[in-house]
Structure 1
Amino acid sequence: MMIKKVAIVGGGTAGWLAANHLGHALHEQGIAITLIESANIPTIGVGEGTVPSMRQSLAKFGVSESEFIKECDVTFKQSIKFVNWLDKHTHGDNFYHHLFDHPHLFGDELSADWLANGQATRYADYVSKQALCCERQLAPKTIATPEFAGINGYAYHFDAKKFAIFLSKHAQQQFAVKHLYADINDVVTDEAGYITHLVTANNDQLAFDFVIDCSGFSAAILAQKLHVGFIDRSEQLLTDTALTLQVPTDELQEIPPYTIATAHQAGWIWDIALTSRRGVGFVYSSKHLSEQQARAKLHRYLGDQFTHLKARKIPMKVGRRDKVWHKNCVAIGLSQGFVEPLEATAILLADFSANLLAKRFPTQREQIPLIATDYNQHVAYVWDQTFDFIKMHYCISDRKDSAFWLENRDLSLVSEKLKSNLARWQVFPPIREDFASKFDLFDLENYLYVLYGMRYTSTSVIPPATTSEIKKQQAFQQSRIEQLVSELPKHRELLNKISQYGLQKH
């Protein structure tokens, strides 16, 4: 049986990312794609940060980066700045950067030298040119740098609702994706359990050969209709609630080119600056903090200046589906699962999953068993690796000031794989071979910035090769820093120029 009609149930960022990935891969094959979303269900709309791989996806779609920046209130993201993730009594200047530049641009010896001699300095400052650029609020490129190219590595912050609209317009105009407003209340399946029709609230039966479930936390098709189970991870990852606000800002004020993630006694706060507002979210464990306490702490973080703004409460069900591909239905986005947005995980996982599906999409129903098992294994691996990476931020912290931080240090709540890695890295520094899978979305560079940013260093230090080589790498780095400081514009200055002139095409 040929697959000719594909439905994507649910809009938002995940739905429209899937529409663009599939549209790009399938629109010339005669496969019709229809995105169906409810006019009555608002999108979550708080996923406002990405990782650098989003640049590759947008470029592949044929998007204009200049138009994207103008239409989606985009700012550049070069790092996540982690504040107060360590014990304040032990660490005076308590922050570190998880940068988007490779830590070995100037050579591996700087990392080795930092372990041996440089730990009085922050790791990111020691090995990278980007940390200083972030602290000086410089842009990652100039107005003469072509679209999607960077002098420093970067991703984006954006208005999530505007981004969904932007992707919607692109998918419809470039890939002929159809857009339908309807409430899907039921499905019809055949004797083999494959979906044949989606049933609307008006009892219309819409025939489709394949269904992508982008319905959000409810997983309305995969979980509610096809009864695929859920693996709960809330015992390992304790934060389960978020309060979110949009805070107006002065349009003349400088814009940090990074996400700020500030830890508190029972979780952390995200702070993302767009051109005219900040998106702020207070992530916490309801087991360790009441909602009333959380709201008070959120307003205290904002200096009690915006107490008139009412924060929206979002319960977070942490875990993943047993499988994300069942019969002729694949879940993408929050319908797959959820982990707190500490490393821009939601959009990363949706983008990865949609791209992977588009690369090997079945053209006949009979092909599904040949690829569904591998897809499920790959996506499950990515989710479990993501859970480990997020958990690591908590379990290696030396904070002891609350029950939340003490419970996070309990190794019985850590996966066997992460436990094994941490034990090895306590003795031997991480190496490339520790991340052997092509599906390690967080790899050596990410782990180095977080591990060494949080002072999780190795006792078995390999001495650097030669003093002359280290000095050569340090000199090259310092020369590059001085050049960038003189050449790169301030972040807001570049955004204003892009708004006025646009960036050069490749």
Structure 2
Amino acid sequence: MIKSIVIVGGGTAGWITANHLAVALGGAGKSSVQITLLESPDIPTVGVGEGTVPAMRNTLAHFGIRETDFLRECDATFKQSIKFVDWVHNPGASVNNFYHHVFDYPAIYPLNTVPYWLLEPNNLKFADAVSLQGKVCDAGLAPKMITHPEFQGVTEYAYHLDAGKFSQLLANNAVNKLGVKHVKANLTDVDIDESGDIQFVKTDRAGDLKGDLFVDCSGFNALLIDKKYKVKFIDQSQHLFVDTALAMQVPYQNPDDPIASHTIATAKQSGWIWDIGLSSRRGVGYVYSSQYTDDTSAEETLRNYVGGAASELQCRKISMKIGYREKFWVNNCVSIGLSQGFVEPLEATGLLLFDAAAKMLAELLPGHKQDMAKTSRLFNQRSTYTWKRVIDFIKMHYYLSQRDDSEFWIDNRKASSAPQSLLEALDLWHNRPPSEYDFFSRFEAFNLDNYLYVLYGMEFQTNMSGIAGRYTQAEKSQEFYRRFSQQFDELKTQLEPNRKLLGRIKKYGLQTC
């Protein structure tokens, strides 16, 4: 039987994995399996993943973490969308050169309004035609009221957070509530037996740590899956060009400055800038391709974006390996987090994939070693599918751009730079809108609603001439548009600005469900 699990590496990936496993195994005092997390006191974590997707609410509740505590302890704020600025056209082409990828499901039930929006020329942005959340974001409003219970709101929402503080919250929960053993030491060697399984890992100050299953959460270092097992890394830089980030922490000029209720992603000549509003500061960073610009020019771009305050702030440079492992589970070693792969921070893919992989491991975890090989094949198959589809989705943001002001964007628009699977899907959608049947697997990280918001936010053209006769309820679709407008007018009187609500929650707390 599997009696002990050793997680190598802390950070967000390590502690999310520890929590998922501990909850699945019954928690402190109820499990016969000991979970140990080995964390180096000398190696800092990457710690820039400050955006999440709505699934994080379910994860926090599953771990038994209160939303009130999370908001208070992690400098967290509400996130309802990613606002893409200057992605479609060259800068200055239009004052409305932006679109929202909101988190609310689009209005496609009971009447699918998407075909009608495509058939009827109008000035409504796609997100505003099928949801009211884009307007909520642009008005700076929060997604819920103080009277809503934890993890519930008027609109779907996720969070912005301080990654370092979030890791600490997860660690405290895993150790103090769920019985995970925390060992602070450096890994010095790995002992593998004749079958290829890891017997134990050696450390510099905690002796040997034996285990039946080892989880590699050691980040880009990939101490087990790469350094020991030499599992091939499948590079994806031919599709996704960005490979470097400069990160900066920007204080608010005034303590009552508004906090955006969405991530702002502003396209630049050689990449894009994220702008995330936390409670006490903004997290701002430039993600760029070293093939198309140099570090000095990139830093100048970032500092110009931040403005006057940037001259006194330090930049942190992060090199990124874009791609994923050929296998994620080998013998009794599973990789999760950056050791598994990385597809740049657009659309908060980092925490999304860490969380999904850890949840899958916890649910599939066998009770006996004899089932590990069968389980690993399933885990590898599902994970590979997920990574490939994520790359398609992220590449789509670049490929559909109409920008031609730099070689970076021109090259991104070439069909030769896009995965064949993405090209085939887009070819279908040129003559019909995407359907839920295009997304047949529950292991899709991004589904129909995500594709709709990005496709038509990017002004993708679907020729409806061959199927226009199927849609005979245009008046009902217009009624949907009017209803969204009325609902927003009502919500404006009920919802508070993001900062104001966060201040009240931190003072009074939210009621539990």
TM-score range, shorter chain: over 0.9
* Structure 1 Cα separation of the partners of residues 109 and 503 of structure 2: 32
Which deviates the most, 455-464 or 484-493? Answer: 455-464
1:143 and 2:143 correspond: no
CA distance in 2, matches of 1:190, 1:42: 31
Match of 1:488 in 2: 495
State how far apart, in whole Å, the 2-side matches of 1:308 and 1:389 are: 37
Query: Secondary structure at the residue paired with 2:472?
Result: coil
- Give the letter aligned to residue 185 of structure 1: T
One of 311, 317, 331 as aligned partner of 2:315:
311
Pair 1:337-2:358 in alignment: no
Q: Which whole-Å CA distance do the structure 2 matches of 1:417 and 1:471 have between them?
A: 35
Q: Does 1:133 align with 2:136?
A: yes
Q: 1:358 Cα deviation (Å)?
A: 0.4
Shift of 1:119: 4.6
Q: Is the 8 A contact 2:131 2:484 kept in 1?
A: yes
In structure 2, how many angstroms separate the alpha carbons of the residues matched to 1:414 and 1:35? 39
Cα distance in 2 between the residues matched to 1:421 and 1:455:
16
Tell me if 1:447 matches 2:454.
Answer: no
Counterparts of residues 8-27 of structure 1 (less than 5 Å): 8-26=7-25, 27=27
Match of 1:218 among 216, 221, 228: 221
Q: By how many angstroms is 1:120 displaced?
A: 2.6
Partner SS for 1:305: helix
Distance 1:178 1:354, change over 3 A: same
Give the CA deviation at 1:473: 2.1
Q: Which amino acid counterpart does residue 65 of structure 1 have in structure 2?
A: E
Whether the 8 Å contact between 1:71 and 1:166 is mirrored in structure 2 is yes
Instruction: Tell me which amino acid in the other structure corresponds to 2:185.
Output: A
Match of 1:255 in 2: 259
Which of 201, 206, 212 is 2:204 aligned to? 201
Counterparts of residues 17-416 of structure 1 (less than 5 Å): 17-26=16-25, 27=27, 28-88=30-90, 90-104=93-107, 107-202=110-205, 204-249=207-252, 250-416=254-420
When the two structures are aligned, how many residues end up with a matched partner?
505
Q: Secondary structure at the match of 1:187?
A: strand
Q: Is the 8 A contact 1:230 1:321 kept in 2?
A: yes
**What amino acid maps onto 1:9 in structure 2?**
V
* TM-score normalised to structure 2 length: 0.96
What secondary structure, in the 3-state scheme, does the structure 2 residue paired with 1:427 have?
A: coil
Change (3 A) 1:496 1:254: same
* Alpha-carbon distance between aligned partners in 2 of 1:119 and 1:406, rounded to the nearest angstrom: 29
Bigger drift between 365-374 and 73-82 goes to: 365-374
Separation in 2 of the partners of 1:225 and 1:204?
A: 19
1:7 is aligned to 6
**2:68–2:505 CA contact under 8 A, matched in 1:** yes
Q: Cα RMSD over matched residues?
A: 1.4
Aligned partner letter, 2:19 = N
Q: Give the residue type in structure 1 aligned to 2:85.
A: V
Distance 1:448 1:466 in 2: 20
Residues 107 and 90 (structure 1), Cα distance of their counterparts in 2 relative to 1, 3 Å cut: farther
The 1-side partners of 2:501 and 2:313 are apart by 31
SS in 2 for 1:344: helix
- Structure 2 portions without partners, runs of 5+: none
Q: CA deviation at 1:475?
A: 3.4
* C-alpha distance in structure 2 between counterparts of 1:61 and 1:191, whole Å: 38
The superposition leaves residues 331-377 of structure 1 with CA deviations (integer Å, 9 ceiling, x where unpaired) of 01000011110010010000000000000101211110121101001
Q: Match of 1:372, SS?
A: helix
